[in-house]
Amino acid sequence: MAVPLFTLARQNQPLREELLQTFEKVLDSGMYILGEEVTQFEAELAQANGLSPEQVIGVSSGTDALLLALMTMDLGPGDEVICPSFSFFATAGGIARVGAKPVFADVCPVCFNLDPDSFAAAITPRTKAVIPVHLFGQCAEMDRINEIARDHGIMVLEDAAQALSARYREKPAGTMGDFGAFSFFPTKNLGGFGDGGALFVRDPDLARKARLLRVHGGYPKYYHSLVGGNFRLDALQAALLRVKLPHLAGFSAARAAHAEAYHEALLAEDRVFVPGEGQCHCLNDFSDSRQEPSQRKLWLPLAYQHNDCIWNQFTILVDGPGAATGEARDNLLAYLRENNIGAEIYYPVPLHQQECFASSEKPELPIADSLAARCLSLPIFPEMTAQERNEVIQTLLSWLHQN
């Protein structure tokens, strides 16, 4: 049985009638840019995250949400922004696009998110902001990150593109820093019908400024005190996302059930582990036992008890001989694909190793390098059936028994 990494058709099929009616409504309205649908969508997102509607700004993509936040902070040449090296490219791309310098920090070997100690060590007098990423649906260690940022007068922009509705100690992702950036790219937990995003802004004055920059900084129209861009969300996109938003909690619950089932089936095997609960590198002085040679073959991802993880990805690490070079992981990836199981590497090259950042001095970030060589993401889309999930598990087990 072939199992895709994800499929959107199954998610959207049951909503087909409602989506088509919504499309017709927007078609007939003749209003295609911003407008009432976007305003309503912003209000609903705000409500779901305990914010006021003014603090939520619908934008054209997650990438543009990040860029808009950095422009709102007036960052540019001479400024430094710290971000984790193990993330999607857009986290660092926005920093470079405003002319500031991305400074890469290492990540936690357990939760894969920004290591607060590495962040603190990367701070210089030029550091203006930090971008913690809530990777794969689990929040970074925000209490410590916020504390370090506050002590140094640094702004915090949460890259919550993969974490809409995830929580850290009861607090929603994207509401703990000065800014929170979200994406509705079709494969995110709230997946749209093309590109879309949102920016949460804590300070009302900065929120007003970001809203202006979304439309070229013009207010009143054609009078520009600021240089912004076109970062607008389409009315159609907002209207269709409003159909899906009430289902987000259900999607995330289905993903969590898959994660639990993976844990239950796979942890029964020798050589399959999760890092011990409470052993967070972010909070404790935790030496990464995964760096030691061992009989361990697969590490499953851990969601901390203090986090509500939304499992945008279920990312395992492949260990054992050949792990450091990526050979072991590539071997499992090839095996899964031969057996028609969808799997993908998020992300194969850490940001500090990307060619476009080669001119900056290259920091030593051993955990980011190690994760990039070992990581492999498995199917965890909400609509996956129990039979499909079992097929993934059986295929993993047969690989384990041969290796």
Ligand X SMILES: *Cc1c(COP(=O)(O)O)cnc(C)c1O
Binding site for ligand X (CB under 6 A): 61-63, 87-88, 90-91, 133, 159, 161-162, 183, 185, 195, 197
The residue (of 176 and 266) whose beta carbon lies closer to ligand X is 176
- Residue in this structure with the two tokens 């619908």, named with its chain if needed: 58
If you write DSSP's letter for every residue of 358-390 in order, what string do you get? TTSPPP--HHHHHHHHHEEEE---TT--HHHHH
Chain Cα centroid distance, residue 376: 16
The residue (of 139 and 272) whose beta carbon lies closer to ligand X is 139
The residue (of 182 and 273) whose beta carbon lies closer to ligand X is 182
Which residue type, as a one-letter code, is found at position 351? L
Question: How far apart are alpha carbons 382 and 255 in whole angstroms?
Answer: 5
Task: Please report how close the Cβ of residue 390 comes to ligand X at its closest, in angstroms.
Answer: 28
CA-CA-CA-CA torsion sign (205, 211, 216, 219): negative
Residue nearest to ligand X (CB): 62
The residue (of 149 and 161) whose beta carbon lies closer to ligand X is 161
Kindly tell me the burial class for residue 283, based on how many C-beta atoms sit within 10 Å of its own C-beta (0-12, 13-18, 19 or more).
middle
The residue (of 132 and 342) whose beta carbon lies closer to ligand X is 132
Q: What angle do CA 235, 43, 12 make, to 5 degrees?
A: 55
Task: Please report how close the Cβ of residue 137 comes to ligand X at its closest, in angstroms.
Answer: 10
The residue (of 96 and 397) whose beta carbon lies closer to ligand X is 96
Task: Please report how close the Cβ of residue 269 comes to ligand X at its closest, in angstroms.
Answer: 30
Task: Please report how close the Cβ of residue 187 comes to ligand X at its closest, in angstroms.
Answer: 8
Task: Please report how close the Cβ of residue 311 comes to ligand X at its closest, in angstroms.
Answer: 14
Task: Please report how close the Cβ of residue 265 comes to ligand X at its closest, in angstroms.
Answer: 27
Kindly tell me the burial class for residue 50, based on how many C-beta atoms sit within 10 Å of its own C-beta (0-12, 13-18, 19 or more).
exposed
